[in-house]
Amino acid sequence: MALLDAKTDLSDRASLQRGAGLFMNYCSGCHSLEFMRYDRMGRDLGLSDAQVLENLVFSGGKVGDEMRTALRREDAKEWFGVAPPDLSVIARARGPDWLYSYLLTFYQDPNPARPFGVNNLVFSGVGMPHVLWSLQGIQSLEKGERPAGARLEHAVRLEATKEGVNLHNIVQDESGAESRVVDRLVVSAPGSLGVGPFRSAARDIVNFLTYVGEPAKLVRYRIGFWVLAYLGFFIVLSYVLYREYWKDVH
């Protein structure tokens, strides 16, 4: 299925900082980032140790600690049926677009088998509650009308719209003829953020998790900038020299 485009940008430091803040507030209660330490994150994102301690360390830990959740695995298993996985390399495992689509497509599901009353378009039967509901609000799934006797169907594409997210399905009727049916996710009870601002918040979280999955990328970015600046400087210099040498020849 084609996913939503996360449009992450590791050079956007403000977005990475906001993503870190959102992660610590909304995710770190259950998920750890064991491969990352607070002070390393602070340095990479341009925050001092004091800023990190004051704004991002909620567990009472030290700034040199690994970013572990205070949640005990055994408790988590009991409450959620599965322990929330460590998210250090989730952006590499699932990809930024999947993460972004995941955060945007929680919806209300009245099926009594759903423990938290929600489901997700890219993670069917998910064991995680919709933790960002106070920001996003509650989404409901409005199913498009299927042709009579429709049987086989598969989801082909997610599409971001003004109101929410559309899910395009290819549906086969009895004769085997295919048609496209669109299901819609719409916000039925608004949260504190509108559709657009909520998407930016989700993008910030995904951006942050992409950085956590490969922190060396940021270093490469910085080195890349200086290499290009250096090359640019030499291009200009050699052009000036070239002009100088050939001035008298013509």
| Distance of alpha carbon 249 from alpha carbon 85, whole angstroms | 70
Binding mask 165-194 for ligand HEC (x = CB under 6 A): ------------------------------
Closest CB to ligand HEC among 129 and 144?
129
- How near is the Cβ of 51 to ligand HEC at its closest, in Å? 21
Name which position in 12, 35, 80, 181 contacts ligand HEC (CB under 6 A): 80
- How near is the Cβ of 79 to ligand HEC at its closest, in Å? 8
Residue 61: Cβ-neighbour burial (10 angstroms; 0-12, 13-18, 19+): middle
- How near is the Cβ of 233 to ligand HEC at its closest, in Å? 42
Name which position in 3, 4, 30, 212 contacts ligand HEC (CB under 6 A): 30
Does residue number 126 form part of the binding site for ligand HEC (CB under 6 A)?
A: yes
Task: Classify 157 in phi/psi space as left (phi over 0), alpha (psi -120 to 50) or beta.
Answer: beta
Q: Which two tokens stand for residue 242?
A: 């070239």
Does residue number 128 form part of the binding site for ligand HEC (CB under 6 A)?
A: yes
Name which position in 20, 67, 205, 212 contacts ligand HEC (CB under 6 A): 205
Does residue number 85 form part of the binding site for ligand HEC (CB under 6 A)?
A: yes
Name which position in 84, 96, 137, 213 contacts ligand HEC (CB under 6 A): 84
| Distance of alpha carbon 189 from alpha carbon 197, whole angstroms | 16
CB environment 109-138: b (16+ within 10 A), e (fewer): beeeeeebebbbbbeeebebebbbbebbbb
Contacts 24+ apart (CB under 8 A), 133-136: 133/106, 133/191, 134/191, 134/192, 135/191, 135/192, 135/193, 135/198, 135/201, 136/104, 136/106, 136/187, 136/191, 136/193, 136/198
- How near is the Cβ of 32 to ligand HEC at its closest, in Å? 11
- How near is the Cβ of 243 to ligand HEC at its closest, in Å? 55
Positions touching ligand HEC (CB under 6 A) are 26-27, 29-31, 80, 82, 84-85, 87, 90, 94, 99, 102, 126-129, 131-132, 205
